[in-house]
Amino acid sequence: MFDHQIYIKRREELKKKFKSGLLLFLGNDEAPINYPANTYNFRQDSSFLYYFGLPIPNLAGIIDVDENKEYLFGYEYTLEDIVWMGPQPKLAELAERVGVQNSDSISNLKKFLKTKVSKGVKIHFLPLYRGEHNLKLASLLDDDPFKINRKASKKLIEAVVEQRSVKAPEEIAEIEYALEIAYQMHTTAMRMAKPGLTENDIYAALNGIALSLGNGVSFHPIISINGQTLHNHFHGNQLQEGKLLVCDAGAESYEFYSSDITRTIPVGGKFSQRQKDIYEIVLTAQKNAINMIKPGVKHVDVHLTAAKIIAAGLIQLGIMKGNPGEAVKAGAHALFFPHGLGHMMGLDVHDMEGLGEQYVGYDDKTKRSEQFGLAYLRLAKELKSGFVFTCEPGIYFIPELIDQWKAKKKLKNFINYDKVEEYRNFGGIRIEDNILVTENGYKVLGRLIPKEVSDVEAAYNAV
Amino acid sequence: MFDHQIYIKRREELKKKFKSGLLLFLGNDEAPINYPANTYNFRQDSSFLYYFGLPIPNLAGIIDVDENKEYLFGYEYTLEDIVWMGPQPKLAELAERVGVQNSDSISNLKKFLKTKVSKGVKIHFLPLYRGEHNLKLASLLDDDPFKINRKASKKLIEAVVEQRSVKAPEEIAEIEYALEIAYQMHTTAMRMAKPGLTENDIYAALNGIALSLGNGVSFHPIISINGQTLHNHFHGNQLQEGKLLVCDAGAESYEFYSSDITRTIPVGGKFSQRQKDIYEIVLTAQKNAINMIKPGVKHVDVHLTAAKIIAAGLIQLGIMKGNPGEAVKAGAHALFFPHGLGHMMGLDVHDMEGLGEQYVGYDDKTKRSEQFGLAYLRLAKELKSGFVFTCEPGIYFIPELIDQWKAKKKLKNFINYDKVEEYRNFGGIRIEDNILVTENGYKVLGRLIPKEVSDVEAAYNAV
Ligand SMILES: [Mn+2]
Ligand SMILES: [Mn+2]
């Protein structure tokens, strides 16, 4: 946990945005795997962590704006518990650790909220994403568990998104530490990309590293020789010489901040000329996109710049044709680069995604496109100093998508379908780094993880 | 997955126990960590796995007893999904893999059930343990999500428990494989128990091994130099010479069967005489308990035998006093051995615990004791050939419990509280193996993981 002053400051800042009402942050509970007592690794809710810091189940944090008071509700351990669990801090002690003055048993929370509601106080809460929470909050507020989520407070969402979007120095330091773990993970993957090993050998090794240096992986690592399948969580294939291995993996720091890095590695340690050609396009797109980053720039424009470089590169190889700008305008690049360039990152690897992408990545001035590809862009709005997000262009040859487009001769003025067929089994390439927007520009966070062709090849041979 | 004949046979056997009704097995869904799209490792519900095998989210399996028909309801992937996820099997294909004739979209399940209910068909379902499922089933049956769990079918629970309790050869083979992974984990822990390393170094390594050879750990490993704290999931301590490291860790096989092994290792590789004295008592208790195992024996008697050996050993050391039989009858041993000797094991590490321990470990002839210690025994009833369960006696010096008892001078005729104080900081020792009840006796499953004092010490020095 950070110093309690940090949590006090964060809550003060949030409070200022409200004239009245009660802000309720429900902490997460244990999540059962296959029966109630066998639970997944506990993960606290990220907004709860942000304002109330404690990585402990069954808590609720409250900011009472009207009374200018803060509360921690939680479970008070009994002597019986302590016999089994060892010495446990008192609830008041936990509250103190995050600078909260008042604490009470969670069993009194319902009565507490009821009294507030009866006085006409508005209860602001964030969207729920675990079924358990729908039941819990509905029970607390005597509401309908199927409908309660619709009552999540837009005002609270907007206030939290505004605040969490701008990372403070202690948060950047955590992300950099998560990136140091990612450095160890990805250089290990590069050394392990040997024919005969399996994707799972690498998957297991990276999980082990993430657990040994932090809280574990920040999301299911994608470790796949079928990188063209974007949502590919299968990792049972054997590595074969000539294939490209996409490794999209990040870690969580001890304070629950994420990293999210992708590298694409030639199995056997040597890119072929064909692989190099595509790789260099992706790398150039990424570098140029990163170079554009500064406060005031709209991220949708960064995305479109990357798309244009990809289109230009593919035109040069004869896979696309026509003018890059027109091709991108028409959305033709999206056959090969169908996803968004990046997403916010922080306490969540897709930061605040659960609060709603329309709040996190869009605003009144930036509406979501409906064009295939561009529609998937998670972050489009104007960048501000303190934002941290990923830059992750890619080029993929997705057989199912190619067939779909080809059958309709979609955008045939921009796509050379005959040439595309030559790349049908190419796979995919993605390169991803994590970027901080600074006062005047950007900083690529973390230690440089090999990404130049020669560096990736050298990393394969490192001991 | 096993051959589809196995699932057909299991369902046939279950069906025979019902004259009418519809047996509904709701598969698990993805479980969100910190926002909807970031999910924990998917784990299918164990009873769903047992009868319908498929380790895929968002399925429901149905056995319609009246019509003698079986159904798989699930999600049919769209072309859009396939573009992102790669080629996916059709629902009918999935159903075929487990020998089910009929399949339909999960979106039709509600109507299907409604029609059945309107015809007076009873819907049997098992207890739910994820909030998401309360909402899902309540929605399917137009019922109250807060109360639906009370309607779980006792008849179905009893039938499933009876069937899942007796392990078939293909299940034993899976458990043995999970034990081979555990062998690798525990011998690694023995080699790593060096002063200066941390509990977490071992924790991370064991997780990595479990992922590299199977589906990962079957429960949070306990890797602790404070083994006296029974529910200890903290693993941030540095290993210190002279401490005992309790490692309670198991793995899940590719077919989702568990192992659950405990070893206690002297940090630095050498037991002190004091440690050896206690260790040998626990080991003798375990060996003698295991030796009693055969069909027809009540497991509560096995537990009490282990308790008596523990009491006798502690009497010899002057920690307890009086007659071992009387001490155990009075429950005095429970100050040092406060938990049960073992629990069923299979698709769940505490097998079927979610269905209710009263069904799994007790029966009409065996009621749960109310005595401290014995009350925690998970398996008390008569053993049958095919049962697989753990045998895990332990001796612990729990300061909080000692203080509690000492203050009340509890059972002071059996406990030498002055002598106990000498062991206050001793820690704890547990030794756990996994046992199969055979036709005439028992088999300790898996490869022998070092447990004699000299073997554990030798394993520390193995390369
Ligand atoms: Mn990413
Ligand atoms: Mn156990």
Res. B82: pLDDT tops 90:
no
> Is A46–B38 a contact, with Cβ atoms under 8 angstroms apart?
no
ipTM: 0.96
- Closest CB from A36, A43, A205 relative to B129: A36
* Joined tokens for residue A301: 């424009």
Asked whether B445 and B391 are in contact (CB, 8 A), the reply is no
- The alpha carbon of B89 and the centre of ligand 1 are apart by a number of angstroms equal to 27
Q: Could you identify the residue written with the tokens 């005002």?
A: A155
Res. B463: pLDDT tops 80:
no
> Is B350–A37 a contact, with Cβ atoms under 8 angstroms apart?
yes
Q: In the prediction, which pLDDT does A93 show?
A: 97
Asked whether A249 and A261 are in contact (CB, 8 A), the reply is yes
Q: Spell out which residues of chain A touch residue B146, defining contact as CB-CB under 8 Å.
A: 135, 139, 145
Q: In the prediction, which pLDDT does B393 show?
A: 98
- The alpha carbon of B260 and the centre of ligand 2 are apart by a number of angstroms equal to 5
Q: Which of B441, B434, B337, B329 is nearest to B383 (CA)?
A: B441
Asked whether B361 and B381 are in contact (CB, 8 A), the reply is yes
* Amino acid (1-letter code) at residue B346: G
Percent of chain A scoring above 70 in pLDDT:
100
Q: In the prediction, which pLDDT does B326 show?
A: 98
- The alpha carbon of B436 and the centre of ligand 1 are apart by a number of angstroms equal to 47
**CA atoms A239, A241, A242, A247: torsion sign:** positive
To test the contact with chain B by mutation, choose from A30, A34, A345 the residue with the greatest count of B C-beta atoms within 10 A, namely: A34
Q: How long, in residues, is chain A?
A: 463
- Closest CB from A84, A136, A231 relative to B231: A84
pLDDT digits (tens, 9 = 90+) for B419-453: 999 999 999 999 999 999 999 999 999 999 999 99
pLDDT band of residue A80 (cuts 50, 70, 90) is confident
Res. A451: pLDDT tops 80:
yes
To test the contact with chain B by mutation, choose from A1, A33, A425 the residue with the greatest count of B C-beta atoms within 10 A, namely: A33
* Joined tokens for residue B423: 């062991």
Asked whether B463 and B275 are in contact (CB, 8 A), the reply is no
> Is A129–B46 a contact, with Cβ atoms under 8 angstroms apart?
no
> Is A203–B211 a contact, with Cβ atoms under 8 angstroms apart?
yes
Asked whether A363 and A344 are in contact (CB, 8 A), the reply is no
Ligand (nearest to CA of A260): 1
Q: In the prediction, which pLDDT does A328 show?
A: 98
Q: Which of B59, B57, B27 is nearest to B42 (CA)?
A: B57
Q: Spell out which residues of chain B touch residue A132, defining contact as CB-CB under 8 Å.
A: 130-132
Q: What is the DSSP string of A111-161?
A: HHHHHHHHTT--EEEPPP-SHHHHHHHHHHHT--TTTGGGG--HHHHHHHH
* Joined tokens for residue B40: 């924990």
Q: How long, in residues, is chain B?
A: 463
pLDDT digits (tens, 9 = 90+) for B181-196: 999 999 999 999 999 9
To test the contact with chain A by mutation, choose from B33, B232, B401 the residue with the greatest count of A C-beta atoms within 10 A, namely: B33
- The alpha carbon of A372 and the centre of ligand 1 are apart by a number of angstroms equal to 19
Please give the torsion angle defined by the CA atoms of residues A251, A254, A256 and A261, in that order, rounded to the nearest 10 degrees: -20
* Joined tokens for residue A304: 């479109």
Average pLDDT over residues B162-170: 98
- The alpha carbon of B343 and the centre of ligand 2 are apart by a number of angstroms equal to 7
For ligand 1, an ion, list residues with CB under 5 A.
A 260, 390
What angle do the packed helices A199-213 and A169-192 form, to 10 degrees?
150
Total-model pTM = 0.96
> Is B230–A84 a contact, with Cβ atoms under 8 angstroms apart?
yes
Q: In the prediction, which pLDDT does B96 show?
A: 98
- What is A169-460's CATH topology? Creatine Amidinohydrolase (3.90.230)
- The alpha carbon of A341 and the centre of ligand 1 are apart by a number of angstroms equal to 9
| Domain locations along chain A | 4-164, 169-460
| A202-216, A437-451, B228-242, B382-396: segment of lowest average pLDDT | B228-242
pLDDT band of residue A87 (cuts 50, 70, 90) is confident
SS3 A277: helix
Chain B residue with CA closest to A405: the answer is: B83
Average pLDDT over residues A92-119: 98
- Closest CB from A87, A203, A226 relative to B86: A226
Beta bridge mates, A248: A222, A262
What distance separates the 2 farthest-apart alpha carbons in chain B? 75
Q: How far apart are the first and last CA of chain A?
A: 36
CA A422 to chain centre: 34
Of all helices (H) and strands (E), which one includes residue B50?
helix B46-52
Percent of chain B scoring above 70 in pLDDT:
100
Q: Spell out which residues of chain A touch residue B401, defining contact as CB-CB under 8 Å.
A: 83
Q: Is B16 exposed, middle or buried (0-12, 13-18, 19+ CB in 10 A)?
A: exposed
Asked whether A410 and A373 are in contact (CB, 8 A), the reply is no
> Is A205–B208 a contact, with Cβ atoms under 8 angstroms apart?
yes
C-alpha distances out from residue B294 to B282, B297, B304, B310, B384, Å: 21, 6, 16, 22, 7
Res. A233: pLDDT tops 90:
no
Average pLDDT, chain A: 97
What angle do the packed helices B453-461 and B273-291 form, to 10 degrees?
120
Strands B69-74 and B102-105: parallel
CA distance B383 to chain A (A): 23
CA distance B433 to chain A (A): 19
- What is B4-164's CATH topology? Creatine Amidinohydrolase; Chain A, domain 1 (3.40.350)
Of all helices (H) and strands (E), which one includes residue A23?
strand A22-26
CA distance A67 to chain B (A): 30
Q: Could you identify the residue written with the tokens 């090849």?
A: A457
Q: Is B459 exposed, middle or buried (0-12, 13-18, 19+ CB in 10 A)?
A: buried
